[in-house]
Amino acid sequence: MLDVSATGCKISLAGNLQSKLQAGQIHELCARLPFDSITIAVDVRHVSHDQNLDVTVCGLRFHRLDGPTQRNIERFVYQLQREARRDQAAERGVGNPLEA
């Protein structure tokens, strides 16, 4: 997984899968989060192949999430955002911004 938000994610897959993955298709995605594993339906939004790296990059939108799964994804995204802010503060030599 390259990127994740509350509404979708971007993933990379080995090989050229452009003929198998097309915008508008619904697929099942299994993901292991730090506190839970989830299996969800995703809507393929865009697909591109990088020939140099031989990877296919896909933009996916989460499809028909139930409440508990949506909350788990949001919890994971918020955790990543907090860690990123903490890392940025450490790089600038500032104390923990969450302690203020």
The pair of three-digit structure tokens given for residue 33, joined into one six-digit string: 């989060």
CATH number for the domain including 68? Answer: 2.40.10.220
**pLDDT in the model for residue 94:** 61
**DSSP states of 29-76 as a string?**
EEEEETTEEEEEEEEEEEEEEETTTTEEEEEEEEES--HHHHHHHHHH
**pLDDT in the model for residue 96:** 56
User: Does residue 59 form part of some domain?
Assistant: yes
Which domain, by its residues, includes 78? Answer: 3-91
User: Does residue 52 form part of some domain?
Assistant: yes
User: Does residue 100 form part of some domain?
Assistant: no
d(CA 76, CA 18): 29
Query: How many domains are contained in the chain?
Result: 1
DSSP 23: T
User: Does residue 60 form part of some domain?
Assistant: yes
Q: What is the pTM of this model?
A: 0.79
Give the pLDDT means over successive 10-residue stretches in the chain (100 positions).
Answer: 93 94 94 86 96 96 93 92 89 64
User: Does residue 99 form part of some domain?
Assistant: no
Question: Cβ contacts of residue 36 below 8 Å, gap of 6+?
Answer: 72
User: Does residue 67 form part of some domain?
Assistant: yes
User: Does residue 46 form part of some domain?
Assistant: yes
3-class secondary-structure state, position 3: strand
User: Does residue 20 form part of some domain?
Assistant: yes
Buried b / exposed e over 77-92, threshold 16 CB at 10 Å, is: eeeeeeeeeeeeeeee
9 neighbors 60 (Cβ within 8 angstroms) = yes
